[in-house]
Amino acid sequence: MPLYYGNHKCTLYRGDHHPAELYYSNHKICGYNAIPHTGTDIAAENTYNDALPLEIWGQSWQDSYRVGVLTGNIVQLDDAADGHDMIVTADANCTVHQRNTLKPFDNQGNILGKHVIPLLCGAGNVYMTVSGITSYYWVFRNVKYTGTTFSFTGASDGEVLWLVINDTTISSTFQISNGWSSNGTHFKLDLSDLQGKITNTLSLNNCPNITGSLADLQGKITNTLSLGNCSNITGSLADLQGKITYYLSLYNCSNITGNLADLQGKITNTLSLGNCSNITGNLADLQGKITDTLSLGNCSNITGSYLMTSPKSIKYINLYLTAQTIENVDSTINNLAQYTSASNGQGFFNARSSASDAAVATLKSKGWTITCGGVQQ
């Protein structure tokens, strides 16, 4: 029954014209009616200020993905990739929530591949490379591309580059990299988009629009993880599960936490965590295995001395503005002079004492540049 104020029929709502209902006991007196609409084009008049619930069942081609934001009258849908039907719903902000997932199909209804990785792009130029997989191709703007490298000039914000893999099992040497390492602003993917499929190498340096947590990688990467300058990444070193053995770069990822001990002393080539001030630990946890680069500058919670027990070719070491004491610095420099086999290297440390004078002279004779406390020696 309708609700009246005098002779005027009223519409019941709450707050800023949000839908409401009025009940007496279990009996509805008045309120809104939910009316379903189907079809490719939907129009509704005299609506409340409310969400647009949206459900999709079965096979569908998705030109956009994951953003889930209302643009005009189009809701961009979440991507899905593991072979099930998909249901998505939108909340009051028209943000789409994925409740199940769907293996992507092309616009002829054909399954794209056994594994599909979506790479969300921003406006600009796109350049990606892959290796370690056998049968694969790229899909961009519904066009199929082949080759280890995909390059496109003038992508629009929010477009998706799909990497479609037909290999039944993804090789343990699978690698994916941002080809333009100096500028990755055109990538907006979340680490969870990768579905934990990367097992060998992920290199997406200088991609400040990438989001997600190290936990999204599912602790599967064993060789190289390079996300330097991806400042929106979160997570802990413990999320990597101590599996990375060669190269780890998370410089300027200031939201990363954890302890050097979480790496389990396995990294042998490069460790670059500069400006990650939330990381703690003792340099002894690295077990002196680095052979190329150790860069922990401005990691103010790192303590101890870095000591090698056998010759290494390490050529760059930055421990400036860590929590090393003068004694730690002296012992680190003395050890470096004894064991590095590299010439023309660089070393940056906190202040030292005369106890490392001879070691500094030895390193300089090999062409090294040594800076302590901000002063070149």
Instruction: Render pLDDT for 270-322 as a digit per residue (tens, 0 to 9).
Output: 999 999 999 999 999 999 999 999 999 999 999 999 999 999 999 999 999 99
* Predicted pLDDT of residue 342: 96
In a domain, 39, yes or no: yes
Tens of pLDDT along 189-213? 788 888 888 889 988 888 888 899 9
Element (H, E) at 97: strand 96-98
Token pair 């029929």 is found at: 9
Which of the two residues, 17 and 83, has the higher pLDDT score? 17
Element (H, E) at 271: strand 270-272
Residue-number span of the structural domain to which 11 is assigned: 1-49
In a domain, 9, yes or no: yes
In a domain, 42, yes or no: yes
Q: Is the pTM of this model over 0.85?
A: no
Measure the CA–CA gap between 327 and 333, rounded to whole angstroms: 10
Measure the CA–CA gap between 359 and 335, rounded to whole angstroms: 8
Structural domains counted in the chain = 1
In a domain, 13, yes or no: yes
Question: Which residues are CB-neighbours of 87 under 8 A, at least 6 positions away?
Answer: 55, 56, 57, 98, 99, 100
In a domain, 4, yes or no: yes
In a domain, 157, yes or no: no
In a domain, 5, yes or no: yes
In a domain, 66, yes or no: no
